[in-house]
Each structure stands twice: as structure tokens, then as C-alpha cells.
């Protein structure tokens, strides 16, 4: 077999470029700030949703809940609420739900989960 003329770069070598950063334009997760998204992020002076690294997530939701969510999003837009997109609404709602769960026994979300 003839020797290879091109040398393949060692993607795992410590020096040089980072293949993840090169491919995605984002720094590796270790160097990103670990700022949790919470319901009051903008109020607390934390980075805005636009500056926080995001990752696409897929979940199955009931059609009824999805329709209700979409309707509420459009109602908020028509009411002039400065909401960028559905992800912003979902992040706020999920932040409130997680904050509620952190309350423990007084959590409305936990009570709902126990009921089912």
C-alpha cells in the first residue's frame, strides 16, 4: 500500500483548533457560563435569553396543551407583550414550574403530579 500524502489532523490533540467550536461557532460547554434560565432572568440582571447558549429539545405534549400554549402565545403577542417567540414563553413557564417544584411540599406542580 502506498503511503498517504495527506496527513489527517489529530482532532483530539490539546493544541490547535477546537473541532466543536470550529463546526458550530460556539465554545465548548466547559467555557460557557453556567447561568440557569429562571423565570426572573431579565429582572435579576442575568444574561438575556439571546445571550445564553441554547440547545434544541424535543418533548411530546398533549394536543390540548399544545393548542392552549399556542393560543396563549398569540394572545400575549396581540396584547403587546414583548415576547420574542414561543421558546421565550416556554422558558419562562418552565422556569416558574421548576421554581415551584423547589418549594417542596407546598409545590402546586408536585401536587398535580401526585394526583395523576
pLDDT profile of the chain (116 residues), mean per 10 = 69 64 65 47 52 84 95 95 93 95 93 87
What are the extents of the domains in the chain? 19-115
What distance lies between CA 47 and its chain's CA centroid? 13
Q: What is the pTM of this model?
A: 0.54
Burial 34-51 (b: 16+ CB within 10 A, else e): eeeebbebeeeebeebee
Quick one: pLDDT at residue 77? 94
pLDDT at 40: 46
Amino acid at each position: 500500500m502506498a503511503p498517504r500524502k495527506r496527513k489527517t489532523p489529530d482532532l483530539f490533540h490539546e493544541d490547535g483548533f477546537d473541532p466543536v467550536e470550529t463546526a458550530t461557532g460556539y465554545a465548548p460547554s466547559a467555557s460557557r457560563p453556567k447561568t440557569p434560565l429562571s423565570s426572573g432572568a431579565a429582572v435579576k440582571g442575568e444574561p438575556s435569553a439571546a445571550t445564553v447558549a441554547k440547545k434544541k429539545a424535543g418533548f411530546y405534549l398533549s394536543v390540548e396543551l399544545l393548542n392552549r400554549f399556542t393560543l396563549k402565545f398569540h394572545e400575549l403577542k396581540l396584547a403587546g407583550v414583548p415576547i420574542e417567540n414561543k421558546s421565550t414563553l416556554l422558558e419562562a413557564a418552565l422556569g416558574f414550574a421548576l421554581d415551584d417544584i423547589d418549594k417542596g411540599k407546598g409545590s402546586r406542580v408536585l401536587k398535580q403530579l401526585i394526583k395523576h
